[in-house]
Structure 1
Amino acid sequence: MLSVFNQNLAKEQSMSFRILQRVWRYSTLLMFAFAASCIASSARATSTPSVQSFFEYSAFSNAQLSPNARYVAMLVPAKDGNVRLGVMDVVERIPKVIASFDGADIVQFHWINDDRLVYAAGDRGVGVGDQHLGPGLFAVNRDGSEFRQLIERSFGLLSAHNATVVRALPANTGFYAAIRGSDDIYVAQHDVTRGVRDRSIRSLNLLRLNTKTGRSTVVERPGVTTSWLIDRQGEARAATTLDGDIESVFYRDAGQSKWRKLAQFNAYTGDGFSPYFFGPDGAMYVRARHGKDKESLYRYDLEKNSIDPEPLISLKDYDFSGSVVYNDKKFLGVHFETDADDTRWFDPQMQAIQKSVNDLLPSTVNRISVGYQAETSVLLVQSFSDIQPSVYFLYDSASKKLTMLGNSMPQIDPLQMSAKDMVRYKARDGREIPAYLTLPKGAGDKNLPLVVLVHGGPFVRGVSWRWNREVQFLASRGYAVLEPEYRGSTGFGWGHFKAGWKQWGLAMQDDVADGTKWAIAQGIADPKRVCIAGASYGGYATLMGLINDPSLYRCGFEWVGVTDINLMYDVNWSDISNEYQQYGMPVLVGDQDKDAVQLKATSPLVNAARIKQPLLLAYGGSDERVPIVHGTKFRDAVKATNQNVDWVEYPEEGHGWQLLKNNVDFWTRVEKFLNKNNGKQ
């Protein structure tokens, strides 16, 4: 049994990357012949980093240990080519590319067992609107042998297959979970409604698939299943279903075929629980509030059909968000997030290893991964901070030596990046609002131009302490950046989340304005040089900020922003589900009929004539989350009374920018826009 604990992670001190550089200099460095992810020269350039350097694709990513910890796999791009899958023996240190595509990237992979992996395809150089293939799924042994395609990439092949012929599964199928010690995996497949654009939530069917034969069997589901949970023996034991606004959790006893309902509850009122994982002891653990303000991790008593009274993991001031670390024998620890990422180990040996790694890498969060059935003393370390993109190391717990695998963003010099800290301020009604503040390096902490960057969602935790492209780019140009976790944001308790219900343009907006006023009162922000910005809901908040507080914000820029709540209901080519429109939005955002007056008063589209400040608008022509009609209608409305409006459309992009060229173009525009409207006095 895990012990109960409460953890409030202390703020990290300012980063000193020189220590990390010294570690690299004296560590045994492994340079992959096929990786463009080596550490840059110690002679760092002192000039301002280019726009492109912040938005380059990752040069090294997704390193994973095999279950026996004898091999490590990773994604690495060929020079001027596509991303490939490589594997290296951690003892012999000989890397090998085992899979690649001529005209596509490998975008994700998973170890199936010690000898076999599956991987999916994509193309990071193609926008959403130009992508007509799915990711597919492919299997290969770690030595490159026994290749097999498991899932088709073409969506034109959704017709039923001949049951007597083993063919790849249709493209509406994707990887779901590995099964320990087996060549089998689970894949999930959404029901398909042919010929009709159906936005209703469809069942997520689960299939057990053999990666060598391609044969699959369907797992019986208890209803319109939206998620599944697999136990350590590879059996589907828990499932969550949705019927209207009623969510139900079902459980199936080991060796049984019949599902039994554990509980049902309203999907939007926070009264239920979410199955989280099965422990090595077979117990089921769930995430729940259990009558309290914060979500914690609990053991679920399957005999009593109830949640245990006391949580196993509870975080002071934060909802539990993270993952449990375990091997084939026991729980080892838990990764979690408070104001930054951290790990708490229950295993004394792992706790000692974490200390040794932290002593070598003292200025970063160092997340350790272990082999499920480790046969070596090697562990994987992902090291990152607010100023350092992820760097991957191997750590030998026997020799206590680090070996650098690769740097995700080798062109980024942490010495040029700007520190980020969590702050808290009071909203006008007394509610405490958490926020992250980034101050431009070398610019001091007083009378700075400020960008208030509002996260999207809105009902998510939108900000973390990790390195962020947009924030660091803005800071590199001399701007302080404030990122509020306004009410309605998740991760800070039920009360903070619920206080944002039906508060678009109202109290949620006031929280952003109050954060801006706080930064001004602290002397951090120059009151004459404040700009508001954001994407999606953050775009909505940008426009409403200019409307509600015209004297507070000198300018605004937004991309893929919602411009009218009624459009979220009425535009039938968006990807918002029917269920969310019918049951979720009336509760969380506003009811079209009952709240009609409020929705009109808080509509940027209706109130566009009130915006007089300079404005930059950008939208994706292939966006299904916030269709471009949001942008075009608002552009036409605001330009009727405001000629200082810049507009850009990226036809091939969706809900955000995927292509490097478009990121460079957009943020170059932002830089010019800010220099003109929010720069030096």
Structure 2
Amino acid sequence: MFRFASSRGGRFAALYLSACLVAAAADKLDLERTDPVPANEPVPIQDFFRPAYFSSPQLNPSGTHVAAIVSGGLDVSRLMVIDLKTNETKVMTGLGDSDVGGVRWLNDERLIYSVSAEKYWGVALGAVEIKSMSRPYPVIQYGMHRFISRPEDDPLSPYVWVSGEGAGRDGGIVTVNTDIKNGRWVSLDPNNFNLYSVAEDQNRRVVRRRFPVPEGGLIAGYFSDRMGHLAYSYTGRQGVFTLHHYDGEDWEPSPIDMEANEVLATADEPGQLIVSQKLYDGQPSAVRFVDAQTGEYGAEILRDKGYDVTSGPLRDRGSRRVVGFQYHRAIPASVWFDEGYASLDKIFKSSFPKKVVRIYSTNEANTVFVLSVYSDREPVTYYIVDLEKKSLGPLKAALPWIDPARMAGVSIVKFKTDDGKRLDAYLTLPQGASKESPVPMVVLPHGGPWVRDTFGFDGEAQFLASRGYAVLQPNYRGSPGYDWMFPESDQWDFLKMHADVTAATKAILKTGFVDPKRVAIMGGSFGAYLALSGVVHEPDLYKCAVGNAGVYDWVEVFRDEAFNQHFSPQFGRLQLKLGNPDDEPEKFRAISPIHFVENMKVPMFVAHGKDDKVASWLESKRLVSQLEKHGVPHETHFVSRESHGMQHLENQVELYEKIEAFLAKHL
């Protein structure tokens, strides 16, 4: 399910779960183990879903240290810093059961990071010096605060978006003084107004400057220029987005048409942006420069032959200039504008044949690089390259408990849509699958819907393959990279998205590797919507369905979003693109599969977290009522204190245990 950035703070979950409960959970889940289980044992469910042992490594400016997110035997994310000269590691302590993310270096010694609770609620931004990792301190807290950028000329005073302040009001952009070790952490009890007052006082002390809030609608986001200074913002009014540029004193609207252009980044020259110009004319989108003040297009700098480029460019760490793009085709691709980077990229890739190799982080001098290396069977392993020492060696593996030799290979397949377009899908076949021994299959459409599946290791698909199922992951229309093939309206045509998934499924059945009598469809969020759509509109194609955190009735989605319309541009966007259910009731009935449950011939498993603020769990509750009304066999799994898609590992393991049993029963 989709969601724009909301400016309403909502409630904040408690951060003080007891250490003994956390330790008990870790012991039950065996999170201390980092080696793969013996080859004669089945791979446990937890190994496919547990938090990465090591992820998001970032070099400091001089390249002497790496900061990364680690799990360390618990179902929490912590901050680790590695001294590359001595190999000494330090892990930040002092934040209890909260999770750390969004880590950025401010200088060689100081880091800023976000703090969240219950795997969902952002509650603070904090800072820490690498010499005193046991003493992290709050920067700004008790609200929805988002790091925007680090100005190159004043790196210790970053820009922060105070997107939820007080009674849900948007506080706009501020710069904060991270030199101030700002009091104590007070985000432990979100219902204590006295603590909120303490936090508000502390926040005022660190704010150096407040910037005006742009007019013209609800705030949707901010971003900086290449040197890290505040430069642009988005607002949304009645579903239409406007870009604004900051002139040093106030915000001025830009004439750039945000429906026809996707802003990828700021360009090297002041006042210029890099956009993906959406043509919808049978040609992939052109990546080109555009003047933010006049809206005039400049030179075209990139156009792929078969895919829209939808990811931002890679910048040189020292000069902050654009040097290339790393983006997704059916497999990851790279285009370089700098000969030095192009040569290095070629050398790096030659060191890891048949693997995907990406430049992940560099120091300012371009002498030290972090590479991410992975394949369809092998999760990411990070490597350190030191050009001065002429050395290349492993840093850490993200999921060391996964044995690539036991994982299933992934094939890239093309399928034809009903209107004759060719889209990509990823097919994972379990060991032993053949035309002589066809296997059951789980169709696994992604959520979003405006995201995409990519080539690489996928824990959910590998879990299903380890249990003997083929797994099909189709990229349907609306998935980034394919918009050029379709009219713009197809990005909001959910029934055509369903038809694409159906076409992909039928294409794979023709290969003979899959038993056509044993096919399930399963998804989370918008993928759950497609799962229900599949079994109500194609009642003879699937044997069962699984939906987790789904949306099933678009009238109810509108009603839910209406409560938030003064804080988020989401409601206006829905009205603009889908219309009004009061004016077009038949259209909304047609796109809401909950109204066609009577067509179902197969059982369904329905799961949802009861604290889901993205897709209300009442959607699933209403679906269960319809399943009961029409006598459709079903199983349910509703979990309290869980957010969108189940984020706590214990709950994920329990969910997939139930899904495994459900699929085994019906396939």
Runs (5+) with no aligned partner, structure 2: 1-30, 181-205
1:209 aligns with 2:165: no
Deviation at 1:585, TM superposition (A): 2.2
Deviation at 1:643, TM superposition (A): 5.1
The match for 1:161 is none
1:388 aligns with 2:361: no
1:137 aligns with 2:125: yes
Change (3 A) 1:511 1:103: closer
Distance 1:76 1:502 in 2: 38
Deviation at 1:263, TM superposition (A): 0.8
Q: Are 1:326 and 1:333, in contact at CA under 8 Å, matched by a contact in 2? A: no
Distance 2:486 2:343 in 1: 37
Q: Are 1:151 and 1:173, in contact at CA under 8 Å, matched by a contact in 2? A: no
The match for 2:628 is 639
SS at match of 1:454: coil
Deviation at 1:89, TM superposition (A): 2.7
One-letter code of the match for 2:209?
A: T
Distance 1:137 1:449 in 2: 47
Deviations 1:424-443 (A, max 9, x none): 21122323232222212342
The match for 2:548 is 559
1:230 counterpart (224, 228, 231): 224
The match for 2:11 is none
1:47 counterpart (36, 41, 44): 41
Deviations 1:418-466 (A, max 9, x none): 22232221122323232222212342366221111122222x1231112
Distance 1:540 1:70 in 2: 48
Q: Which moved more, 1:563-572 or 1:533-542?
A: 563-572
Q: Are 2:267 and 2:274, in contact at CA under 8 Å, matched by a contact in 1? A: no
The match for 2:161 is 188
Q: Which moved more, 1:463-472 or 1:314-323?
A: 314-323
Alignment of 1:270-349 (within 5 A): 270-274=259-263, 276-279=265-268, 281-282=269-270, 284-289=272-277, 291=279, 293=281, 294-301=284-291, 305-308=295-298, 310-322=299-311, 323-329=313-319, 330-349=321-340
One-letter code of the match for 1:190?
A: S
Distance 1:496 1:204 in 2: 39
SS at match of 2:307: coil
Q: Are 2:149 and 2:229, in contact at CA under 8 Å, matched by a contact in 1? A: no
SS at match of 2:364: coil
1:484 aligns with 2:490: no
Deviation at 1:264, TM superposition (A): 5.2
Q: Structure 2 length as normaliser, TM-score?
A: 0.83
Q: Which moved more, 1:350-359 or 1:629-638?
A: 350-359
Distance 1:512 1:83 in 2: 35
1:514 aligns with 2:503: yes
Distance 2:227 2:340 in 1: 26
Deviations 1:4-44 (A, max 9, x none): xxxxxxxxxxxxxxxxxxxxxxxxxxxxxxxx999747x96
The match for 2:239 is 245
Q: Are 1:107 and 1:119, in contact at CA under 8 Å, matched by a contact in 2? A: yes
Distance 2:107 2:445 in 1: 42
Change (3 A) 1:633 1:493: closer
Distance 1:669 1:586 in 2: 37
Q: Which moved more, 1:406-415 or 1:100-109?
A: 100-109
Runs (5+) with no aligned partner, structure 1: 1-35, 155-170
The match for 2:25 is none
Identity of aligned residues (%): 26
The match for 1:444 is 434
Deviations 1:196-217 (A, max 9, x none): xx7xxx7561111121033421
The number of equivalent residue pairs is: 604
Alignment of 1:407-422 (within 5 A): 407-422=397-412
One-letter code of the match for 1:206?
A: I
1:549 aligns with 2:575: no
Q: Are 2:244 and 2:252, in contact at CA under 8 Å, matched by a contact in 1? A: yes
1:114 aligns with 2:108: yes
Q: Structure 1 length as normaliser, TM-score?
A: 0.82
1:453 counterpart (415, 420, 444): 444
Deviation at 1:650, TM superposition (A): 1.0
Alignment of 1:62-81 (within 5 A): 62-80=56-74
Change (3 A) 1:647 1:331: closer
Change (3 A) 1:499 1:529: farther
Change (3 A) 1:577 1:50: farther
Q: Which moved more, 1:395-404 or 1:585-594?
A: 585-594
Alignment of 1:523-542 (within 5 A): 523-542=512-531
Change (3 A) 1:415 1:590: farther
C-alpha RMSD of matched pairs (Å): 2.9
SS at match of 2:158: strand
SS at match of 1:622: coil
Distance 2:355 2:564 in 1: 38
Q: Are 1:204 and 1:226, in contact at CA under 8 Å, matched by a contact in 2? A: no
Distance 1:296 1:212 in 2: 43
